[in-house]
Structure formats: C-alpha cells, structure tokens
C-alpha cells in the first residue's frame, strides 16, 4: 500500500487564519497567499505580506506544481519516508512530503505535482509526487 493510500492517523489542527488553505485542500486544490501590493506569493497564512509588510493580501489557487528544493529519506519514519521542501511554481518554498515514488529515484530540481493525503476525520494534507 502506498503512502498516498493510507489515511494519516490525525487530522491537522485548523486555525482560523488557515481555514481557506484547508477548505481548498478539501476541494483538491492547493492555496497560497498573494500580496496585492508587491505581487509576491507566500505559503504561511498571516495578515500581512512577509516581503513588503502590506496588509493587502488574498488567497489564490496555486498551480499545484513545483520542483524539489531539498529532501531527505527517513526509511524508519512512521508516516512519510521522504520529507521535503518544494519550490512552488508561484515562487515560495513549502514544507511537505514526496509520496508514491522510489526514494532512490528522486533528485533536487525534479518536477513534482500536488496530491492530497487523506486524514482520519479531517482535511486532506497536500503532499507531492513526481510529475
């Protein structure tokens, strides 16, 4: 059974400022924040832009694609064998996991696409798989 097919034992805790992110995940979409002033995208929800400080921000659907920025293989991990950082097509780097692959076949700079890992009783978790 692949990592993708196994429901995670616990659903993520959803804080109010992150509700749009998890609602999008429930619809099979990856959401990121975008600053309307400097037009930069970022991942972690906050009421101001980390690039310019503007409070003019919005949620946007992301393309759901990116490249592996860095990763490690943790063969004895209880959940994900390949924790990773993925540079999204929109620019920000996101902490995630790579699933449904042979870890030996992965490389930094490799193209990946979002997938959604079910959780036990909550929103699915965005993860990535080789494109």
Whether residue 67 is contained in a domain is answered as yes
Whether residue 60 is contained in a domain is answered as yes
Whether residue 1 is contained in a domain is answered as no
**Residue the block writes with tokens 């696409």:** 113
Query: For residue 5, what pLDDT is reported?
Result: 52
Whether residue 25 is contained in a domain is answered as yes
Whether residue 66 is contained in a domain is answered as yes
Query: For residue 1, what pLDDT is reported?
Result: 34
Number of domains in the chain: 1
The closest of 7, 108, 3 to 66, measured between CA atoms, is 108
User: Residues 131, 22: contact at Cβ < 8 Å?
Assistant: no
**Residue the block writes with tokens 């992110």:** 21
Whether residue 6 is contained in a domain is answered as no
Q: Domain residues for 33? A: 16-130
pTM, rounded to two decimals = 0.90
Whether residue 10 is contained in a domain is answered as no
Q: What is the pLDDT along the chain (131 residues), one digit of tens a residue?
A: 345 456 777 778 889 999 999 999 999 999 999 999 999 999 999 989 999 999 999 999 999 999 999 999 998 888 889 999 999 999 999 999 999 999 999 999 999 999 999 988 888 999 999 99
Whether residue 48 is contained in a domain is answered as yes
């Amino acid at each position: 059974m692949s990592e993708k097919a196994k429901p995670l034992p616990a659903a993520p805790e959803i804080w109010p400022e992150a509700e749009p992110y998890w609602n999008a995940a429930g619809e099979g979409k990856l959401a990121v924040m975008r600053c309307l002033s400097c037009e930069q995208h970022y991942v972690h929800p906050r009421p101001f832009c980390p690039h310019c400080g503007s409070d003019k921000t919005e949620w946007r659907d992301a393309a759901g694609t990116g490249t592996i920025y860095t990763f490690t293989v943790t063969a004895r991990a209880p959940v994900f064998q390949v924790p990773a950082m993925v540079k999204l097509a929109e620019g920000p780097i996101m902490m995630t996991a790579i699933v449904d692959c042979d870890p030996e076949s992965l490389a930094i700079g490799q193209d990946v696409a979002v997938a959604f890992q079910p959780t036990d009783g909550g929103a699915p978790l965005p993860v990535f798989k080789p494109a």
